[in-house]
Amino acid sequence: MLKLFSLSMKPFFSVVIPLYNKEKHIKNTLEGVLNQTFQDFEVIVINDGSTDGSLAEASDLNDERIKVYTTKNQGVSHARNYGIEKSSSDFIAFLDADDYWYPNHLEDLKKLIEIYPYCGLYAKGYESVYDERTIVKAKFLGLQQNFSGIVDDFFYHSLANQIAWTSAVSIPKTIFDTHGNFDTALRTGEDTDLWTRIALKERIAFDSSISSQKKLTSSSYHLSQSNHTSDKLKLFNKFIKEEKSNPSFKRYMDNNRFAVAIERKIAEDISNYRKIYEEISPCNISKKQRLLLTMPGWLLKFLKKFQNKLIKFNLYLSPFR
């Protein structure tokens, strides 16, 4: 009877993993979840129309907590939203199919939830791994190294690295009812959009100790050739009213505009570069950033390539640090 009762209870976490053509990574990612010190969870894998062996790899692990659903390819936002819909827990933890959790990740998130109830988002510290060898720990402006608590200014603290990163957050399911799910109309920046909607209205709990890895390959951090510039502009235009009444948020958005402006200049998309540049308040970005914005595209392209070479030697330079 006790066993039947325990099986009928909903798990504490629903781990939602969108999966698209990650056959080389998904098994390692799932094994990281199964090796958690806190074991009260279900895993919902949304196979978003993969064309490689991802589905077979995800289905290979024999654990009744893993549920795999297949949909036609509709993008990461749709996959995550579908996973939320299929979840049975009160707390959703997100994980991308090529990222990795250390064993204490879910246990740390549960502690945050217990100590700081009634928050809109719970976040953990993380590190980025470039090409499986260079590790860069995320830094958060204005927070002590071993911070744990409610952040007083989510947007200011996210100026160097984001407080909320998709594979290191958990969100109460009720929050999606209040603020909506991932915006499927955005093909890029959909996570920033959701964190913004939540952070503008809710408390954010954060533990800066590292419990997850963001895996980046050469193709994901080299020169951007994004075809989704219109989505980025849409994101910038989405919160104009909030920017006017929240100086910290305006500064945060201007730093995002800076990154996209540099990307557009490197891509020789001068029209959109100028459009974005004109919306940036100079006082909201650093002298280094203002200097970079004035440089010709060919020089920015050279500096980006130089930055990527330095990463291979464990040296990481960023205009945001």
pLDDT in tens, 188-200: 899 999 999 999 9
pTM of structure: 0.92
**Bridging pattern class, strands 204-216 and 100-101:** antiparallel
- Tens of pLDDT, residue by residue over 126-144, are 999 988 888 999 999 999 9
In whole angstroms, what separates CA 91 from the centre of its chain?
17
pLDDT tier for residue 171 given thresholds of 50, 70 and 90: very high
pLDDT at residue 226 in the model = 52
pLDDT tier for residue 31 given thresholds of 50, 70 and 90: very high
Q: Is the pLDDT of residue 300 over 60?
A: yes
Mean pLDDT, rounded, for 74-98: 97
- The domains located in the chain, with CATH, are 11-221 (3.90.550.10), 229-311 (no CATH)
Half-sphere exposure of 318 (CA within 13 A, CB side): 13
Q: Is the pLDDT of residue 82 over 70?
A: yes
- Tens of pLDDT, residue by residue over 245-292, are 999 999 999 999 999 999 999 999 999 999 999 999 999 999 999 999
DSSP-assigned letters across all residues of 116-159 = S-S-SEEEEEEEEEETTTEEEE---TT--TT-EEE-S-HHHHTS
Task: Give the Cα-Cα-Cα angle 145, 150, 153 (nearest 5 degrees).
Answer: 85
